[in-house]
C-alpha cells in the first residue's frame, strides 16, 4: 500500500528531517523529478547516506544485462556504420577523396543513430532487473501528479505518509482572481 498526499506548490516539509525510506536521520537531499510535456516539477527529499547508495545501486543482473546489451548495440552500430560507408563509397563509383569523406560522415551518423536508438531501450529495460531494496528506496516517495498550484506525492510507507500529511496539512488552493 502507499499513501498519497497533496501539498501546495513544490515546497514540502519532511518530518524531523528523517530519511523517507528508513526514517533514520537524513544527511542529504535527493531531487525527485516528474516531467509532464514541457512542465517539470522537482521536489527535494531527505535521505540517509545508505538509502542514497541503495537508490543508485545496480544489481548484478542489471550490470550484466547492460554490459551485454551495450556490447551488442556497439557491434550493431559498427555494422550499420560500415555498411553505410561501403554503400556510399561504392555508390560514388570510385574511391575519390570526396566519396571517402561522405562515406565516413554518413557511416558515423548511421552508427550514432543505431546506438542512440538502442540505448534509449537499454536504460528502461535494465531497470527491470533492479534489486527489491533499490526499487523500494526509489519508490519511497515519488511525484504522482502536479499542476500549477499543487504537487501530489506518493509515499511507499503509509506511516511516514500520514506523518508527512500531518506536518504539511491539506493543500490549500490559493484563490486566484480571474
Q: Which of 7, 48, 141, 165 binds Zn ion (CB under 5 A)?
A: 48
Nearest-approach distance from CB 24 to Zn ion, in angstroms: 5
Taking the CA atoms of residue 44, residue 27, residue 47 and residue 8 in that order, the dihedral angle to the nearest 10 degrees is -30
**CB nearer Zn ion, residue 45 or residue 88:** 45
With binding defined as CB under 5 A, does residue 43 bind Zn ion?
no
- 39 burial (CB, 10 Å; 0-12 / 13-18 / 19+) is exposed
Find the shortest distance in angstroms from Cβ 19 to Zn ion. Answer: 3
Among residues 8, 18, 52, the alpha carbon closest in space to that of 160 is found at 18
Q: Residue 55 in contact with residue 79, Cβ under 8 Å?
A: no
Stretch that binds Zn ion, among 12-20, 30-38, 75-83, 127-135 (CB under 5 A): 12-20
Distance CA 40, CA 31 (A): 12
Our CB check for Zn ion shows the closer of 22 and 88 to be: 22
Residue 168 engages Zn ion in binding (rule: CB under 5 A): no
**Piece in contact with Zn ion (CB under 5 A), picked from 47-55, 66-74, 88-96, 105-113:** 47-55
- For cell 536504460, the residue is 123
Should residue 157 be labelled a site residue for Zn ion when binding is judged by CB under 5 A?
no
Cell of residue 114, nine digits: 543505431
- Give least dist CB 128 to Zn ion, A: 24
The residue from 5, 7, 12, 22 that contacts Zn ion (CB under 5 A) is 22
CB nearer to Zn ion: give 147 or 158.
158
The footprint of Zn ion on residues 89-128 (CB under 5 A) is: none
The DSSP result for 95-144, as a single string, is --HHHHHHHHHHHHHHHHHHHHHHHHHHHHHHGGG--HHHHHHHTSEEEE
Record the cell numbers describing residue 2, joined without a space: 502507499
Instruction: Give the binding site for Zn ion (CB under 5 A).
Output: 19, 21-22, 48, 51
Amino acid at each position: 500500500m502507499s499513501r498519497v498526499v497533496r501539498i501546495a506548490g513544490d515546497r514540502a516539509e519532511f518530518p524531523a528531517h528523517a530519511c523517507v525510506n528508513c526514517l533514520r536521520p537524513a544527511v542529504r537531499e535527493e531531487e525527485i523529478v516528474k516531467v509532464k510535456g514541457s512542465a517539470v516539477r522537482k521536489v527535494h527529499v531527505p535521505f540517509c547516506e545508505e538509502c542514497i547508495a541503495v537508490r543508485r545501486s545496480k544489481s548484478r543482473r542489471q550490470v550484466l544485462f547492460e554490459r551485454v546489451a551495450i556490447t551488442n548495440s556497439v557491434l550493431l552500430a559498427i555494422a550499420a556504420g560500415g555498411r553505410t560507408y561501403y554503400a556510399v563509397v561504392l555508390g560514388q563509383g570510385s574511391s575519390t577523396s570526396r566519396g571517402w569523406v561522405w562515406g565516413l560522415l554518413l557511416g558515423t551518423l548511421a552508427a550514432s543513430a543505431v546506438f542512440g536508438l538502442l540505448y534509449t531501450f537499454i536504460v528502461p529495460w535494465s531497470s527491470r532487473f533492479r534489486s527489491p531494496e533499490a526499487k523500494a528506496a526509489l519508490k519511497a516517495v515519488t511525484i504522482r501528479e502536479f499542476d500549477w498550484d499543487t504537487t501530489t506525492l506518493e509515499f511507499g510507507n503509509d506511516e511516514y505518509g500520514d506523518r508527512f500529511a500531518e506536518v504539511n496539512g491539506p493543500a490549500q488552493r490559493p484563490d486566484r482572481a480571474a
